[in-house]
Structure 1
Amino acid sequence: MRTRVNRTLLFLIGLILLAVGCAVLIGGLDLPRHWGFSLPSWWPYRGPHDVLLSANARTRYRKDSWWWPVVIGVLAVLAVAALFWLLAQFRDRRLGQVLVHSDDDGDVVLRGRAMERALAADAAELPGVLGAEVLLTGGRTRPRAGVRLQLDRHARPAGVVSDLGGRVLAEARASTGLTEFPAVARLRVERHRARRVE
Structure 2
Amino acid sequence: MRIANRVLLAVLGLALMAAGATALLAGRRSPHAVLLSRADRVRWRSTDWWWPGLIAALSVLALLALWWALAQLRRRRLNDILVPLDDGTGASLRGRALEAALRADAESLSGVAGAHIHLHGRRAAPRARVGLTLDPGADPLATLRALEAETLTQARTSAGLPHLPTEVRLRGERHGAERAR
TM-score, reference length from structure 1:
0.81
The answer as to whether partners of 2:132 and 2:169 remain within 8 angstroms in 1 is yes
- Equivalent residue number for residue 126 of structure 2: 143
Q: Distance in 1 between matches of 2:107 and 2:157?
A: 19
1:11 pairs with 2:3: no
- Equivalent residue number for residue 80 of structure 2: 97
* Offset of residue 182 of structure 1: 0.2
The answer as to whether partners of 2:26 and 2:34 remain within 8 angstroms in 1 is no
* The one of 76, 91, 110 aligned to 1:108: 91
What do residues 132-186 of structure 1 show as CA deviations (whole Å, max 9, x unaligned)? Answer: 1111111222110011222222222222222222211111111112111101112
Q: Distance in 2 between matches of 1:15 and 1:69?
A: 26
* Offset of residue 104 of structure 1: 8.2
Q: Distance in 1 between matches of 2:125 and 2:172?
A: 30
* Offset of residue 47 of structure 1: 4.4
The answer as to whether partners of 2:26 and 2:35 remain within 8 angstroms in 1 is no
Q: Distance in 2 between matches of 1:20 and 1:191?
A: 44
Cα distance change, pair 12–24 in 1 and its aligned pair in 2 (3 A): same
Q: Distance in 2 between matches of 1:64 and 1:51?
A: 24
Q: What is the percentage of aligned positions where both structures have the same residue?
A: 49
- Equivalent residue number for residue 54 of structure 2: 71
Q: Distance in 2 between matches of 1:196 and 1:105?
A: 63
* The one of 75, 87, 90 aligned to 2:70: 87
Q: Which has the higher contact order (CA 8 A, sep 6+)?
A: 2
Unaligned 5+ runs, structure 2: none
Equivalent pairs counted in the alignment come to 181
Q: Distance in 1 between matches of 2:156 and 2:179?
A: 45
